Amino acid sequence: MSAEATNPSVPSRRRGRPRLDLRRLGRAALLGPTARGRLPDAIGHVADAHRAHHPDADLAVLRRAYELAESSHRGQFRKSGEPYITHPLAVTLILAELGAETTTLTASLLHDTVEDTDLTLDRVREEFGDEVAYLVDGVTKLEKVDYGAAAEPETFRKMLVATGNDVRVMSIKLADRLHNMRTLGVMRPEKQARIAKVTRDVLIPLAERLGVQALKTELEDLVFAILHPVEYERTRALIADNATAGDALAAVADDVRTVLREAGITAEVLIRPRHFVSVHRVSRKRGELRGTDFGRLLVLVGEDADCYAVLGELHTCFTPVTSEFKDFIAAPKFNLYQSLHTAVAAPDGAVAEILIRTHQMHKVAEAGVVALGNPYAAAPADGSDPGDDGERADPTRPGWLSRLLDWQQSTPDPDTFWTSLRADLAQDGEITVFLPDGGTLALPAGATCVDAAYEQYGTTAHACVGARVNGRLATLGTVLRDGDTVQPLLAADSGSGPSPDWLEHARTPTARIAIDRWLTAHPHGPDMPAADPRPPSAVVADRQPTANAVVDAPHTGVRLAGCCTPVPPDTITGFAVRGGAVTVHRAECHAVLRMRNLGRQPVTVRWSGPAQCRVTLVAEAFGRPCLLADLTDAIATAGAAIVSATVEPPSEQRVRHTYTLQLPDATGLPALMRAMRDVRGVYDVSRAQHPAGAH
């Protein structure tokens, strides 16, 4: 089945296979079972599609499943008037054309029996085994009689939990929704709109995340036609008015075939018409469309290396549009998708987009997790142990699904779950960030330090006051990028908690739900006084010039630079300033580089031995009562005198104290810094690298 149908009212199908007449299949289904050993005519198309992907498949189990489904649904009819058995047949055919294996097709034939007939799950398990029973149970809806208005969200919760153990559950649900959307015209308009909105908000994002593009694109077109009929009709007319647009792409395709043939590269070059929603998006982006905008070229090759060989030839023989190049082979999308994307410009200025992938990549791009077959079939061929715990491990379970399964456990309320699910699925893309210990976190694109903190620590992240991103201090609202290293910083005071502002930074349901719960439980915030206020002015003591650095020139004044406050045994250098004095800097000070760039010649300076020194230290801490008093006490206990002190206003529960200190001996500086770090709430003490606030 093509992933890019040109008309949403006509389901796409494999070339050469006639369109199925479901009414005829329904009549065939009513004729009863066929002779033993023969497949009923009604599922002959399913058998053909299945054998096209799995030539050695055993069709006997499909015959038994069909006969049980037909007898269970006998006498039931759809709103369109067809026998109900036509629905599971159509759903199964969709999956068969995508390449689903026999177990999935068996469960698909039976997917509505437990919900709509007298057939029990125990009977399904007895006839077809635990796997089929699990899949059927996973897609079985919860009764409105038992759950009322919560039936739909709780059904999706049940289905997603089941998908966490077996992704084939969601494959069946997506095919089921596709067939229902194809036949939605018999419903009342208001019901069509309600179903289309749920499909748009939940099922289409799930199809995207599972990589099932063939289902996603057709679902998008069907939803587009229902929810945006005016734009749909305009797009349909645009496509109809440009019926010959394919000629422009065909000419480019011929040129591409010639180039690849001359280069000795075996490749299949196809024209892929855009589906309705894709044409609509391109028209909004580019305005008036040209012939090449109504489709894309697809180049299929045998090996990964051939993809890059094709790319090299295209960029050599055509004019590439470099801004359109993307490499999803070296860096696959989070939904298994792999391909090279590029675009080339024709002499008349028209741009043709080109997709380059192997045949296997194309199969996965179309069918996603369905193309992987049964990930639980057997142990790996190399004999490696699939797991020590004896449980089935799903290699296709991505990070977004693991996150979803985690946070849904914290949302027993159906409305909260439903709202959070839609918000989570609205996130487009996924990033991976690294932890200092080598671990990783999978987060949605746009996630912040708040999300990383709750993903790593759970509710313990209530005490988070900031983070280090790539080694630098960052605020909680800092947006993370793929590949960043993040270290959330937690306050030692367990009484701290999040503020309402955190909700503006939270992108994941895990973070939002945890923050909302804490704020509800603490309507007046944490039971603690405010952080130390900023003094109305800096505290400045009398300055005593005590330079113990000397130069080999008599009667030359020496003073220590305030920008880096050097002390023994720092490596130092000096520069002459007005008045004949020499200013001494640490060798790594930024001012040294500026002086050298200005052509200033350094002066050799050295330490004269133990002496008093002056140094500026910056203490970064979590705001708490008595912090200023505890820090000044630690400084006094270490024998240092405070020359000046500045406390910056608190920001996100963090405060920064800057002290210029006089020490009787520079050798006591390391001990002083350790004493300040030991003060409760202080997480970093460092030497100032910039001009101090006061000297």
Q: Report the alpha-carbon angle 247-253-259, nearest 5.
A: 145
Residue 146: count of CB within 10 angstroms of its CB: 9
Count Cα atoms within 13 angstroms, Cβ side, for 276: 27
Could you give the CA distance from residue 98 to residue 104 in angstroms, rounded to a whole number?
Answer: 11
Return the beta strands (E) in 378-522 as ranges: 430-434, 440-444, 464-469, 472-474, 486-490
Whether the link from the prior residue into 55 is cis, omega within 30° of 0, is no
Residue 633: count of CB within 10 angstroms of its CB: 13
DSSP 345-358: E-TTS-EEEEEEEE
Integer angstrom CA distances of residue 58 from 55, 63, 101, 105: 9, 10, 10, 12
At how many degrees (to 10) do helices 168-182 and 213-227 cross?
40
Integer angstrom CA distances of residue 241 from 14, 60, 237, 245, 294: 26, 49, 6, 9, 11
Count Cα atoms within 13 angstroms, Cβ side, for 578: 0
- Closest CA relative to residue 457, chosen from 430, 495, 502, 488: 488
- The DSSP bridge partners found for residue 356 are 299, 340
Exposed, middle or buried: residue 642 (CB in 10 Å: 0-12, 13-18, 19+)?
middle
Contacts of 566 (CB under 8 A, 6+ apart): 549, 560, 572, 584, 585, 586, 589
**Contact in structure between 87 and 61 (CB atoms under 8 Å):** no
- Which amino acid would we find at residue 132? V
- Which amino acid would we find at residue 521? A
- Which amino acid would we find at residue 659? Y
Rg of the Cα atoms in the chain = 34
Could you give the CA distance from residue 462 to residue 537 in angstroms, rounded to a whole number?
Answer: 33
Could you give the CA distance from residue 284 to residue 594 in angstroms, rounded to a whole number?
Answer: 51
Integer angstrom CA distances of residue 370 from 110, 168, 366: 18, 7, 9
The verdict on whether 116 is a catalytic residue reads yes
- Report the residue count for the chain: 695
Secondary structure of residue 291 in the 3-state scheme: helix
Dihedral sign of CA atoms 394, 399, 404, 409 in order: positive
41, 48, 67, 115: which one is catalytic?
A: 115
41, 48, 67, 116: which one is catalytic?
A: 116
Could you give the CA distance from residue 61 to residue 458 in angstroms, rounded to a whole number?
Answer: 46
Contacts of 374 (CB under 8 A, 6+ apart): 101, 103, 104, 168
- The DSSP bridge partners found for residue 685 are 619
**Contact in structure between 252 and 352 (CB atoms under 8 Å):** yes
Q: Which are the catalytic amino acids?
A: 115-116
